[in-house]
Amino acid sequence: MTRGRIISRALLVLYIIAVAVMCFARISTGIDMSSTWFGLPPDKIVHFTMFLPYTALVYLAFYRPGKRPWHMVLFLAATVAAGCLIAGGTELIQGELQYRSADIDDFRADSIGIFTGSVITLIWAAAAKKW
């Protein structure tokens, strides 16, 4: 395994730990959640940005370049599906915690972040000819 792949996998593990802490820890941010940023609630922006790098990190950690372009699309589709399952799982677990709540709009923001990250990753891979 190359040094870059080891670093990518380590970053992915750190990312997953950070997401778990943000999703399940009892955190008081001091941010006024009743306000909006660009017309959106701030917690939805946090959910979007929290899941945005997911696809790129999984791509860097596990995708093997040199295959045909449609293999890349299948890889990203599987990554998006797995990411959405993770996002849905975090919301279900939050619904069971007394100090957190589950929200379908959080899941939507997570999923949009994952999908946006996959589009950015696909564009980057195409531009860099990483397939």
What are the pLDDT tens digits along the chain (131 aa)? 789 889 999 999 999 999 999 888 887 666 566 676 677 787 888 899 999 999 999 999 999 876 677 788 899 999 999 999 999 999 999 999 888 888 999 999 999 999 999 999 999 988 887 65
Q: Which residues contact 76 (CB under 8 A, 6 or more apart)?
A: 55, 59, 118, 121, 122
Answer for the pair 83, 51: CB distance below 8 angstroms, yes or no. Answer: yes
Q: Is 82 left (phi over 0), alpha (psi -120 to 50) or beta?
A: alpha
Q: Cα(7)–Cα(61) distance, rounded to whole angstroms?
A: 8
Q: Cα(34)–Cα(68) distance, rounded to whole angstroms?
A: 47
Q: Cα(128)–Cα(30) distance, rounded to whole angstroms?
A: 41
pTM of the predicted model as reported, rounded to 2 decimal places: 0.86
**Which two structure tokens, joined as six digits, stand for 65?**
């370049």
CA torsion, ordered 83, 41, 34, 95, to nearest 10 deg: -20
Q: What is the C-alpha end-to-end distance of the chain, expressed in Å?
A: 18
Smallest Cα–Cα separation from 71: which of 18, 122, 4, 124? Answer: 122
**Which two structure tokens, joined as six digits, stand for 85?**
């399952």
Q: Cα(109)–Cα(48) distance, rounded to whole angstroms?
A: 5
